[in-house]
Structure 1
Amino acid sequence: MKSALKIGNIMILLIAFLLLFSFSASAVSKDELKIATWEDISTFDPGWMTSGERELTIMSSLYNGLVKYKEGSWDIVPDLAESWEMGTDGKSVVFHLRKGVQFHKDFGEMTAEDVKFSFERIIDPEAKAAEKGTWKLLEKVEVIDKYTVKLILKEKMANLFTSALPMNSGYIVSKKAVEKIGQEKFGKDPVGTGPYQLDSWKPKTHVKLAAFDSYWGKAPAIKKITFLPIVEDSTCETALRTGEINIGRAAMINVASFKKNKKFSVYSNPALKTYWLGMTVNKPPFDKLELRQAFRYAVNVDNIVEAAFYGTAKRANTILPPGLPDYWTDAPVYKQDIDKAKSLMKAAGKADGFKVNLYVPANDAERIMAEVIKADAAKAGIEVIIEVKEIGAFNEAANKGETDAYIQFYTSTIDPYYIMQYFAGESWNPSQWRNAEYTELMKKGASEVDSKKRNQIYVDAQKVTDKDAWAIWLTHGTMVWIAQKNVDIGDIYPNGRLAPWTMSLK
């Protein structure tokens, strides 16, 4: 009898322990979130960032700028600056900073000296900052007092509040931290003022963030976030179904099945992306305009987009997405014309065809596109050799112009300068394309504040890219996020970027 009682007591204690453990595990899970990304981050230094929107979800969690896009919109609202005044000539801005804002890792209060340092390190002639082109109209930054700073411009800067200040190029870093550990190490061990700070980074494995206890704004509900670089859509789908991640994506063909599954919520946004088939123009075969034009007529863009996006996206006809004020509404719509492609090839001395090495990042959509392109091009006698690369290796190789052609995408903002400046050959130009007229138009667009004149400048620039035929515009895509049903995904920006500090678990 006593033995039975002992066993009963042990069982009660065991059940109580399991219930306590279960409760504890549940409590911990409400503070943790795992999000799948397409790739690993290349650097945590905002001025040297190269992968655009894919890294911004992480970067915007670590840093603040003087101003920001209001979560879920393109409205500009105060961030580290409480207020500002534009100079009467439009070539200076005075910002009044928040007091008491702390940097991560005990690097002290953010002041005007940090603002000056953050911007001037990018425009330093000796620096190789990826964002140097964004700030080419910045002359210098003056510190008026501890909490007041003045940006002095060479000319009026039309994109100052639309794509320079609210994006990564406008994030404020700790001067003390960079000077103490050096720029290279800072790119791996960042110090910002954002709602999260870096907990750990294991390249190609994870980025772990922890809520910053001394954050000046509203404390995020999620205390720990892990970003996992998952290249394959199929792997991401499996991780969602097994509960290994809370937020991820799926191949477009499988999105419908997730919509039907009551365990998940699906969020879809018209993307401000531009996918294109780029050609490297400084070496054969695409150093000849006729062969670039031939390639453009050889492919069927409508079929490419249908195959990769399963009816969820429309074809693109120019670099900018429709709906933006500077969109070229009369852009030509190139249809597949094999006879015309062959005629252009003959004129270029390649009547018997030619070979094209095509680099593709290891994403499902791009790989599907590549296979359709290969089949289309073969009809015109063009042999396409596809080489799939891990995203980091792809970006490095493509940006060096190692391949004949590549498939790439870039996510824009509401300001056309944000994406179009990169093709002026200053810091990022995978097609190795140079055009003096285009570069001059970019300079004019950067300083033109009259909306009608600026619109015409960017339309003219799109016409230049069309004439030189270095790119075949494919689609502006669609952005889909899939979340476990217990996740409140928070605010999503119009281009599909997440704001993790607005998320919570139900």
Structure 2
Amino acid sequence: MSGANLSRRQILAAMAAAGLSPAFYQKAALSADGKTLRVRSYADIQGLDPAFRKAAPDDDVMRNIFVGLADMTPGDVWKWKLDAASRLEQTDPTHIEFTLMDGLTWTDGHGAVTADDVKFSFERMIDPKLDAVYKGDWEALDHVDVKDEKSGTIVLKAPFPPLWNVGLVFGSGRIVSRKAVEAVGGKFDTKPPAQCGRYLIKEWQPKQRLILARNPDWKGEAPQFDEVQVIPIEDEKTAELALEAGDLDYTWIPPSSIPRFRQTPPKGGKITVKPSLAYVWLGMNLEAPPFDKLEVRRAVQHAIDVPSVLDAAYFGAAEPATGIIAPGLIGHREKNIYSYSPDKAREFLNKAGLGSGFECTIDILNKTEQVSAAQAIQANLAEIGVTATIQQHDSGTFWSLGDQKSGDAWKKIQLIVNRFSMQPDPSFATDWFTPEQIGVWNWERFNSPEYGELNKKAKIEQDPAKRAEMYVHMQDLMEESGCYVFLTHGVTGIGYSDKIEPALMPNGNPIFHAFKATSSC
């Protein structure tokens, strides 16, 4: 694509500002043969162990180097399809029988993929000794019975509706090699001890690129591209420049740029827009003074003019959120409890003895839309006498801020603008705010036993109406705590070369191994 009159010097300067080397650019441009797919990820990989993955970019890579029994189908409707299984059938509410396809093998001499690997992969998720971050995705699992080398039965303690929307079809459903993982001590980070997917990791240069090469031993339908270059570019504007110059085949586009791309798409480029399931919010750490006072937290809730924040960050492309569960999903709330009212905000500050204001910090990921949102929030707070300093972090630093195992940074969090990706079941939104997640992903340190119990009950409730009522009440509890100002679910803009057909889930998440080259390529 060459619609934007950009010089190599301009691209190099932008990439240098994003922390990418000139050597990277020269290599990234060498894919005119049509056999290499060049995709942008908003962050580098941080963990490829299904039990300890960090963010969506990890999931995107794991989907290519591992298999699950099932996977999501590209398109506009949420539905699953067989992946490593040739048969997958729920025979009653608590039993799911499976049979693996023929010919699946592990790399590095670890032999065939077996039903015992499936047993190991799923049961380790609920092993208290491992303490998997994503154990909630499998909390109804009792055990896996192995029938023979390729077949077995998943046995649940109770019916578990989220399993087909989350546990089986996303990261927690990826199968790992028992032999290989046990040989490295029971878990791993960014270096999988064995792989079995359609692609294999050929090379990883941290913060530069990750190269996936087609797996020669894959027995299913072969992916179309020989290689996939996954290029971490945190800055959206830099990614836009690379797309417009023809040096990327695919990237997410920030909502603020969607109107421009719709009006004037780059030559040789296309854009599509998908509804997002993700959720963005302003959080308050209730253990960090002065936010340990409910009156202060309530003041902030009343001080934030959400539409003005979204205008600044998304240029009108995103709608305000009423909670963490997006429209169309069970448990979506119709309205918020607390609304914008600077006068009420000042009243609450007076009640807290802080009528003259105070100083605080706002931690954010250094992405354009979050910077813009934080600046608008900063301005809102200034109107009630609160002086907020914005602290920007790269992805590696940001995603460890609230993790107690990573140090004491969690103690310094006061306000934080955050965004979590989402899967098509409400449980994947609510799981991260339970008491058990304090110091893991619950950075506001919101501590509600009632919320935690409702989260467990809602997962196994089979009546959709009752389940929805539970999830609505859980979001009420979050807002009533004063720890949250719900901002938006955002929107997902995708820019791509007209030489490819991207394979996207309904919310825009990519399935790289299913991307196709167009007939003109």
Q: TM-score, normalised by structure 1?
A: 0.90
Q: Which of residues 369, 377, 383 in structure 2 aligns to 1:379?
A: 383
The answer to whether the aligner puts 1:477 opposite 2:490 as a matched pair is: yes
What is the rounded CA distance, in whole Å, between the counterparts of 2:131 and 2:361 in structure 1?
29
Return closer, same or farther for 1:171/1:251 CA change in 2, 3 Å cut-off: closer
Q: 1:211-245 deviations in whole A, cap 9, x for unaligned?
A: 11222321111110111111112211222233222
What is the rounded CA distance, in whole Å, between the counterparts of 1:40 and 1:27 in structure 2?
21
8 A contact 1:262–1:485 mirrored in 2:
no
1:79 is matched with which residue?
83
Shifted more, 252-261 versus 438-447: the winner is: 252-261
Structure 1 residue 85: deviation in Å? 4.0
What is the rounded CA distance, in whole Å, between the counterparts of 1:111 and 1:81 in structure 2?
11
The structure with more helix, counted as a fraction of residues: 1
Shifted more, 333-342 versus 409-418: the winner is: 333-342
1:444 is matched with which residue?
457
Query: After superposition, where does 1:341-490 map in structure 2 within 5 Å?
Result: 341-400=345-404, 401=410, 402-427=412-437, 428-489=441-502
Q: Which of residues 299, 311, 315 in structure 2 aligns to 1:310?
A: 315
Identity %: 30
The answer to whether the aligner puts 1:293 opposite 2:298 as a matched pair is: yes
8 A contact 1:158–1:445 mirrored in 2:
no
Which letter does structure 1 place at the counterpart of 2:313?
Answer: A
1:11 is matched with which residue?
none
8 A contact 2:435–2:449 mirrored in 1:
no
Which letter does structure 1 place at the counterpart of 2:497?
Answer: Q
Q: 1:251-303 deviations in whole A, cap 9, x for unaligned?
A: 44433443413221112111111011111112212222111111011111001
Structure 1 residue 358: deviation in Å? 0.8
2:324 is matched with which residue?
319
Query: After superposition, where does 1:63-102 map in structure 2 within 5 Å?
Result: 63-72=66-75, 73-86=77-90, 88=92, 90-102=93-105
What is the rounded CA distance, in whole Å, between the counterparts of 1:416 and 1:27 in structure 2?
40
Q: TM-score, normalised by structure 2?
A: 0.87
What is the rounded CA distance, in whole Å, between the counterparts of 2:106 and 2:390 in structure 1?
46
The answer to whether the aligner puts 1:500 opposite 2:500 as a matched pair is: no
1:131 is matched with which residue?
134
**Secondary structure at the counterpart of residue 248 of structure 1:** strand
What is the rounded CA distance, in whole Å, between the counterparts of 2:88 and 2:245 in structure 1?
49
Q: Which of residues 230, 233, 246 in structure 2 aligns to 1:230?
A: 233
Q: Which of residues 113, 116, 129 in structure 2 aligns to 1:110?
A: 113
Consecutive unaligned residues in structure 1, runs of 5 or more: 1-24
Q: Which of residues 190, 211, 220 in structure 1 aligns to 2:214?
A: 211
Q: 1:387-436 deviations in whole A, cap 9, x for unaligned?
A: 00001101101344341011111122221001111111334211111101
Structure 1 residue 87: deviation in Å? 5.0
8 A contact 2:44–2:57 mirrored in 1:
no
**Secondary structure at the counterpart of residue 133 of structure 2:** coil
8 A contact 1:44–1:186 mirrored in 2:
yes
8 A contact 2:492–2:508 mirrored in 1:
yes
Structure 1 residue 453: deviation in Å? 1.6
**Secondary structure at the counterpart of residue 360 of structure 1:** strand
The answer to whether the aligner puts 1:41 opposite 2:45 as a matched pair is: yes
8 A contact 1:101–1:193 mirrored in 2:
yes
Which letter does structure 2 place at the counterpart of 1:282?
Answer: E
State the Cα RMSD in Å.
Answer: 2.0
1:179 is matched with which residue?
182
What is the rounded CA distance, in whole Å, between the counterparts of 2:486 and 2:456 in structure 1?
23
Consecutive unaligned residues in structure 2, runs of 5 or more: 1-28, 405-409
What is the rounded CA distance, in whole Å, between the counterparts of 1:456 and 1:250 in structure 2?
35
**Secondary structure at the counterpart of residue 265 of structure 1:** strand
Shifted more, 144-153 versus 179-188: the winner is: 179-188
Structure 1 residue 117: deviation in Å? 0.9
User: How many residues are treated as equivalent by the alignment?
Assistant: 478
Which letter does structure 1 place at the counterpart of 2:151?
Answer: T
8 A contact 1:416–1:458 mirrored in 2:
yes
Which letter does structure 2 place at the counterpart of 1:496?
Answer: G
What is the rounded CA distance, in whole Å, between the counterparts of 1:84 and 1:30 in structure 2?
36
What is the rounded CA distance, in whole Å, between the counterparts of 2:422 and 2:242 in structure 1?
29
**Secondary structure at the counterpart of residue 175 of structure 2:** coil
Structure 1 residue 27: deviation in Å? 8.4
**Secondary structure at the counterpart of residue 398 of structure 1:** coil
What is the rounded CA distance, in whole Å, between the counterparts of 1:170 and 1:135 in structure 2?
9
Q: 1:279-328 deviations in whole A, cap 9, x for unaligned?
A: 11122122221111110111110011111111111111211111213212
Which letter does structure 2 place at the counterpart of 1:439?
Answer: G
8 A contact 2:363–2:415 mirrored in 1:
yes
8 A contact 2:48–2:188 mirrored in 1:
no
Shifted more, 213-222 versus 252-261: the winner is: 252-261
Shifted more, 412-421 versus 184-193: the winner is: 184-193
